[in-house]
Amino acid sequence: MDIKIAIAYHKPSILLQQKHFLPIQVGKALSDQRLPIQGDDEGDNISSKNPRYCELTALYWLWKNTTADYKGLMHYRRIFTERNSFLFFRTLLRLKYKERQLASLWSPYRSMGVKKQYTCTDEKEFQRYANDFSAHLEGLLGNGTNMLVPHPGRFYISIRQFIYQHASKLFIDLLDEIVQKSFPNIYPSYKKSLDGQRLYNCNMSVMDNASFDEYCNFVFTVLAQHEEEIVSRGIIKSCSEKTYSRVPGYLGELLTNAYIIYSIHRRKKIKVLPVLFLDNVSQ
């Protein structure tokens, strides 16, 4: 089974070079860093858009420049781990969610919710989990599995209400319009995802090639139209404005969430996995 999972890097860190992993330096076209890994500035690429697109420039590069049965994206500090891991920590997360849910009754940060990710502070341990995940990937993707996705984060208000606190309503309203017009088949799932309280975050996934191609076409078509329309309508003067920095990356997270929900509605075979975060201050 041919599997390629891009690992997005923007600065030196421990290299995850396990079987099936492809470390990629994002934003290399604009960076003085020269990491000893594949750059996202070769072939068909959008490397120069990295300040806006974040790790999605690695996703685009993987989409346009590689072939594989399965493709996906993880981060140098965030990786999938094996199913059924961290049972004790899941219990702690549930308690943490309930505690924050109660505190949200009077806290101004009531929308923050709880991310479904587990923390690791030791690089060797993090490498070990990466090795284990890589070693079991073919088994996880066997039996017709279409997608691996992260445990969704849970919020106390809708994702739409949450995103309005962090991005201009005009940006989101335009996103609504573009998805409805260009992808009417996905729009109901998109609307449900924004009206819901669960977010499959981090732009992380592994998909069979057909799903990956459909997903990337959806995400990058919508984001390209958003960049074009937001300037032509005079909402901003240029996509290089600071107010638009990283915005397509965050919008991509909303679109990824919508595509996963769309795939669930189509009864694709999906496995939900824990995410492990390397919390290392030196990184």
CA-based nearest residue to 272, from 137, 56, 80, 89: 80
Angstrom CA distances, 28 to 7, 24, 39, 53, 202, stand at 14, 9, 6, 13, 21
Alpha-carbon gap, residue 48 to 251, rounded angstroms: 18
Going along 143-256, which residue ranges are E strands? 147-150, 153-154, 198-199, 205-208
Structure confidence at residue 92 (pLDDT)? 59
Residues 100-126 pLDDT 10s: 556 555 554 444 444 556 788 899 999
| Contacts of residue 199, Cβ cutoff 8 Å, sequence gap at least 6 | 152, 153, 155, 159, 193, 253, 257
Q: Give the pLDDT confidence score for residue 86 in this predicted structure.
A: 53
Token code pair at residue 188: 């109901």
Query: In the numeric block, which tokens belong to residue 277?
Result: 């975060």
- Cα 138 to Cα 127: distance, rounded to the nearest angstrom: 19
Which tens digits make up the pLDDT trace of 12-67?
999 999 999 999 999 999 999 999 999 999 999 999 999 999 999 999 999 999 99
Most confident of 68-77, 112-121, 157-166: 68-77
- Is the pTM higher than 0.75? yes
- Give the integer Cα–Cα distance in Å for 148 and 139: 12
The DSSP bridge pattern shows strands 78-80 and 275-278 to be: antiparallel
